[in-house]
Amino acid sequence: MSDAHTVDNSIDKAAFWSAIVLLLAGVLSAIFPLDAPEGPFAERMIWFSSNVGAFVMGWVVQMIAMLSLSGVFAGVAWQIRKSHPVRAFVAGVALLISVVAFIIPKFIAIWSIPQMVVSSATVSADSFIAEQLLQLLNPSLSFSLFTSFDYLGFWMYGVFGLLVARPLFRLTWSAKIAAVGFGLYGLLYHILLTGVMTGSVITADIGGYAESIGALLLVPVISMAVHFRMNLKKVSNA
């Protein structure tokens, strides 16, 4: 096996197992909470004090899921590098921006919010600052600093999807299915973005629309996992 084929095989294998880890992380994410129940701030603080460990674990799982999904997408970009090198490069840049955007709020949830919860429970000069920051970083508000980074990351996924959809459609049947999923996600997310910016989509509906559109990413993840697996079988049978 040549060096180029060895690299291709390694990337296919890494992307395939990234998809498996992502699906497992998706199952685990249903167990752990990602935010306190809606209600008065005092009640939310009581919840955080009692459930901060589960909250942190939930965001650790989200971090693993995001990195795994990025691994799958990196493998996707690698599939089109020969036929569409510029698209693959720009898609890779969009993917890198998404990782940076996603990793910031997740690190805040894992690192900063538990410290804010502890500080707010003490009588000190830091407690007021901690309480103010917790309100600014509310994961349930679509306009909070916390969720703004997430929506930026999903926008970059939309850009990525539009860039890779057409080249993927020229590959295997599983890649064609993934291309449809990527194209739909990219198109719908940009429609959502336009609706928010023009005021056609109200703030209360943003989260629901974003979650519904985000579910489309399961289609390319599963389809590309099949594609990567088929590539690996071809190598093993060669």
C-alpha–C-alpha distance, residues 131 and 141, integer Å: 16
Query: Measuring CA to CA, which residue among 198, 217, 202, 203 is closest to residue 138?
Result: 203
pTM: 0.89
* Tens-place pLDDT, residues 74-84: 999 999 998 89
User: Which residues in the chain come in under a pLDDT of 70?
Assistant: 1-4, 123-125, 235-238
Question: So what's the pLDDT on residue 3?
Answer: 65
Question: So what's the pLDDT on residue 154?
Answer: 95
* Tens-place pLDDT, residues 111-125: 988 888 888 777 666
